[in-house]
Structure 1
C-alpha cells in the first residue's frame, strides 16, 4: 500500500461540495450553430466533474441502503438480525439474498419512476446530504482525509481543464464564424492582460497567412474563409494552455464592441482557479514563491511558503462556482457579439 504523507486531520467541509453539485449551474443554452459544439463539449466536461462530486455520497448512500435492505430481508426470512452473518446457513442466506434483490428492485423501480417529477431534485438532495454526513467520520483519520483531499484536487483540475478547453474552442469557433473582423487580429493584445509582453504584430499575422502549409489548406478543403480560427490555432500563434496567452488571443481578435468579453475574461475568478490548479499540478500542492505572490491579490486558499495549500469543500466550491459563472458570461457575450456584428 502506498504511504500516506504526513497529514493533519481537519474539517474538509465535504458537504459544501455536495451542495455545489446540487445547485442549478444554468449553463448557457447556446443557439448559434457554429458555437453549439463548443457548448456541448463544455457541458459534457462539466457534467463529469459534477458526477465525480456526487460519487462519494452515491457510494456511501448506496452501501447504507443495501445494508438496510439486507437487514430487512434477513428479519423477514429468519425473524431476527444476527451480528455474525457467517452463522447463517447457506440455504437461508440464499433466501435472504433473493428477498434483498426483490426489495432493492422495487425500490429502484420506484426511484426511477420519480425521476423528472417536481420533487426529484429535493429527494435526490436529501439522499446525498444524508450520505455526506456519514462520510464525516472517514475524514477524521489521515488515510480517509488524504483520499478526500485528492478528490478535491480532482474537482479543481477537472474544472480548469473544462474551462481552458472551452476558451480555446470558443475562440477558434468565433473566428471561423466571423472572419471579416476577428481574423484580422488587429486588437490590442495587452488590453486585458497586464503581463503581456507586447501587442500582437499584425504584419506577422499577414506573413503567417501567406505561409500556410499546403497540407493545412488541403485539410480545410481550400476554404480558408471559414477556417481562419482553426488555421491560426493549428499554427499555434497563441498558447491556449496559458491564461495570459488566452487573453491576448481574445483581445487581438475582438477589436471592437468588446466590453462584455473583456469583463468576463478579466474576471479574477479565472486567475484564482488557474493559480490553485497550477500549484496542485506543478508543485504537488505546496505553495511556491509564485503562489505566495498571488495570495496578495487573489482570493485563493491560504498557505505559507513551502507548506501545503489547504483545500476544503468550501474554498474549492467557491473557486469552481465563480469560474463557471464567468465562463458562462463569456460564452453568452461571444455568441451575442457574433449575432449582432
Structure 2
C-alpha cells in the first residue's frame, strides 16, 4: 500500500480538534484552543512558511473544493454522506449555487467540532472573517452549534482582487481572535482565513508565504499566552489555464444534448436529459482532450447516497493544465493532483494529533 493510500483524510480533523479540546478540558487548562481554517493552503505552501509547528499531512476529499472539504473536516463525514459535493449542485430538484442559496440544505444538521466542544463544557466559537462574505445556508450548516463572531473580511473584498496589506490583515486577524476569546478563555475559537483568493490569482508567491508565516507568528504569541493553536486547510492549487476551445465545445454539446453543468473548479458534472447519458459520454470521450477524464457518477459516489442525489450523471475531471477557469485565475482546484489533495494539519503548543487519529 502506498504512503498516499495510508494517509488520513481531512475527515479526521474533527477527531483531532476534539482531542485538543478534551486535553484542555481534562487538565482544566484555562487557555483556549484556537484554530485557523486556512482556505486554499496546500502542503507545500505550509512547508515553506512554518518552522515551529508540528505538522501532519492529510488528504482532502474529492472533489477538492471548499464547500465539500470544510464540511468533511468539521463533521468528520465523507462527501457522500454529508451531501454537499460542490458549488453548483441539485437543491430541491434543480441545480443551484449553494453560496447563494438561503433555504436549508439538509433536514437535520449533523454534529460537528462545535457540538463536541459544547458537550465538554467548552464554548464553541466561529469567527467569520472572510466567511462574512457568504451569507448562505451552506455557511449556516458548516457553523451549526457555534456562537458566531463577525470579524473583518481579510482577503475577500468587493471588486477585482488586489493583495491587501499584510500588516492590516494581521491586525484585523489578531482583533478577530481576541473578539472570539473575549467571552471567556475556555473556548474553541475557529477562525476562517481565505488565502485562497490570493492563491487563485498569484499562486504560492512570496506574498502567500508571508501570509502563511503570519499565521505562525500569531500562533506562537497565542501559545505564549497559554493557548493551544491548530491550523487546517481544505485543498491546495494547481496551475490552470482557461481553454476557450473547450468552453466552446461544451457549449455546443450542451445545445445538442440539452445538459446543464454543475460542480466547480477542475471538476464539473453534467445533468444530461434522461436516456442521453451513454451517448453523451461516448461523444465526450471522443472529442475532449485526453487529459480530461469522463467518469460515471455512480463510480464517484455510491448510488442512493446524499451526494449522488445532487450531482449529474457524468463527471469531467481535469488532469492537465487546460480546463475551465474564471477570468484572472491562474491556479485552480477541484481535481486529484497531489498539489490539490495534500493539505496540512498543524499544532503549536500541543500534541500534533490532538489525541485523535495518528499521522
TM over 0.5: no
Point out which structure has higher relative CO (alpha carbons under 8 A, 6+ apart): 2
Please state which structure has a larger fraction of its residues in helix: 1
Larger Rg: 1
Please state which structure has a larger fraction of its residues in strand: 2
TM bucket normalised to smaller: under 0.3
